[in-house]
Chains A and B, each alone.
Chain A
């Protein structure tokens, strides 16, 4: 405790006392909800599921909502709205810790949280094929918020991935953003600079014109505009063929510049951000494979005892993990004020993964 604490007390002339209990530690957690996972988006999906009588979907959307999904797990959670954002407070008397949880939904607030000393920051949303946390307004609208951001300070990707990624054309066309494809006039990217999912395809890279990237001429027109060329341009870009999902089958993937330093969104990228938070959890899909090396080795944000802690997800995941993770942190069954975060986090990893496994999920937190 830093002191002295001011205590209002009564003078006693007979019976009675002034009871003083050691004050709890305040522990702040910022949950950053990515694009397509905003509160408004999820509330809309929940309402739709309820209206359709889709019980599982209704349960699921409520379970991922903040604060509702967390409150269902922690009956003592006190939630409130302020400045258009959702917040919660939770006092665990066993731990003697007061949790302050703030939910943010824009890139600037996410970056501000990363710069805040001593707190935990959780990103909950799309991994964007490893490019980084991504933010945008509610509504799942197509546009540049799926890449650098319509307003690069508040929306778009907070870049923290390898310099090059391979992205299927349906993803680019579907979201209608303007990426930076790697021209075939430049050498093939070195393996070490490529996202792990791109590396197995480096030997198959082919220089393709935009007209060769999709069989539908109308979609070629769309893609060409997004790549910054005309549909009949002879400019070629590095590409490969692969199956991203069963729905789209074998399709062209374009090698894009992704990067994490001096990007078009700088300083709202990892390179321009001196992380001061105590723990960062990147709960997007397969973030361990995509982003661990960049943060820990290239950026040099290495763990130091129970400082600079980082947690990831190891496979394609659903956003249900965040509320499960929070609830296990917040119910750690020992006194924990001003203690090291090591055992506390290890407990939450173990219990979250146990619950995820029991629920039939194939991904875990590492």
Chain B
């Protein structure tokens, strides 16, 4: 067994892929990772510095005769780029043409009824550009895959609040003020006593709203 220290941009899918596992759950659910599971209930959202125990790979021996055909099923867990586009009032931005570009590939589609974009990507893919056409406007998103931190971390809190439209960069205003405002505005919008400071209740609501 080997202990892997998580780097920025990594998630269990990319780590498993790196060590030759086609299904990241094999790694995540290994008994040696019990502490990790308690700390990070979502294997797709890890924090740089987390430790993941990589189990030894088991070599499976299969006997068979020549001139025969055998079917082997790979225990594989696909990795997805999943986005859900919403209007500020929470209604889905459905039926919008989009384009996903990465590593020289271009894929086209239309956002689903819930505003969703779902596209299978390689587990190690670090970034993709998503372009959404809404009327005459084109919106471009540089999606940094694997870089979403846990909601309990300040950066993860900020990332979710930014993606939900609460945290906005304002020239001349320090990040700490902007984050405090974003938390305050989110609390106010969700009928929580606005304090500007995150707590369990906010983490839970934000996780639910953001969907990861």
Which residues in A have some Cβ–Cβ distance to B below 8 Å?
Answer: 1, 3-14, 16-24, 26, 75-76, 78, 80, 82, 87, 89, 91, 93-94, 96, 98, 100, 335, 337
- Residues 131-146 of chain B: 1 if any A CB is under 8 Å from the residue's CB, otherwise 0? 0000001111111111
Interface pair A10/B44, CB less than 8 Å apart: yes
CB-based A-B contact count at 8 angstroms: 176
Interface pair B141/A3, CB less than 8 Å apart: yes
A287 to chain B, nearest CB (A): 29
Interface pair A26/B168, CB less than 8 Å apart: yes
Interface pair B141/A20, CB less than 8 Å apart: yes
Bound: A9/B77 CA distance, A:
19
Can you list 28 pairs linking A and B with CB atoms under 8 Å apart? A3-B141, A7-B83, A8-B144, A8-B147, A9-B143, A9-B147, A11-B13, A12-B80, A12-B212, A13-B13, A13-B25, A13-B77, A17-B212, A19-B209, A19-B211, A20-B83, A20-B86, A21-B165, A22-B139, A24-B168, A26-B170, A75-B188, A82-B173, A87-B173, A89-B181, A89-B185, A100-B170, A100-B173
Bound: A107/B121 CA distance, A:
57
Q: A4, A11, A17, A24: which has the most chain B beta carbons within 10 Å? A: A11
Considering the complex, give the chain A residue whose CB is closest to the CB of B144: A8
Bound: A22/B123 CA distance, A:
27
Interface pair A9/B81, CB less than 8 Å apart: yes
Size category of the binding interface on chain B: 35 or more
Contacting residues of chain B (109-164) with chain A, CB-CB under 8 angstroms: 116, 121, 123, 125, 129, 137-149, 159, 162-164
A364 to chain B, nearest CB (A): 32
Tell me, yes or no, whether B29 is within 8 Å of chain A by CB: no
Q: Which residues of A contact B125 (CB under 8 A)?
A: 11
A3-B139, A8-B148, A12-B82 in contact; A22/B88 too (CB < 8 A)? yes
Interface pair A76/B185, CB less than 8 Å apart: yes
Bound: A89/B141 CA distance, A:
25
Interface pair B163/A76, CB less than 8 Å apart: no
A62 to chain B, nearest CB (A): 20
Bound: A100/B168 CA distance, A:
11
Bound: A17/B77 CA distance, A:
16
Q: B79, B174, B212: which has the most chain A beta carbons within 10 Å? A: B212
Interface pair A8/B159, CB less than 8 Å apart: yes
Interface pair A78/B180, CB less than 8 Å apart: yes
Interface pair B86/A19, CB less than 8 Å apart: yes
Q: Which residues of B contact A75 (CB under 8 A)?
A: 188
Interface pair B88/A18, CB less than 8 Å apart: no
Q: Which residues of A contact B82 (CB under 8 A)?
A: 12, 16-18
Which residues in B have some Cβ–Cβ distance to A below 8 Å?
Answer: 11-14, 24-25, 42-45, 77-89, 93, 116, 121, 123, 125, 129, 137-149, 159, 162-166, 168, 170, 173-174, 177-178, 180-181, 184-185, 188-189, 194, 196, 209-212
Q: Which residues of A contact B86 (CB under 8 A)?
A: 19-22
A7-B163, A8-B148, A89-B173 in contact; A13/B140 too (CB < 8 A)? no
Q: Which residues of B contact A91 (CB under 8 A)?
A: 166, 168, 181, 185
Interface pair A16/B44, CB less than 8 Å apart: yes
Interface pair A94/B212, CB less than 8 Å apart: no
Considering the complex, give the chain A residue whose CB is closest to the CB of B212: A16
Interface pair B165/A24, CB less than 8 Å apart: yes
Q: Identify which of A20, A24, A76, A98 contacts B85 (C-beta below 8 A).
A: A20
Bound: A24/B166 CA distance, A:
8
Interface pair A10/B45, CB less than 8 Å apart: yes
Considering the complex, give the chain B residue whose CB is closest to the CB of A17: B211
Q: Which residues of A contact B79 (CB under 8 A)?
A: 11-13
Q: A13, A14, A24, A75: which has the most chain B beta carbons within 10 Å? A: A13
B16 to chain A, nearest CB (A): 9
Bound: A296/B11 CA distance, A:
60
A13-B78, A21-B164 in contact; A6/B88 too (CB < 8 A)? no
A-B residue pairs, 7 tightest by C-beta: A4-B140, A3-B140, A17-B211, A16-B212, A21-B165, A96-B88, A8-B147
Bound: A17/B87 CA distance, A:
16
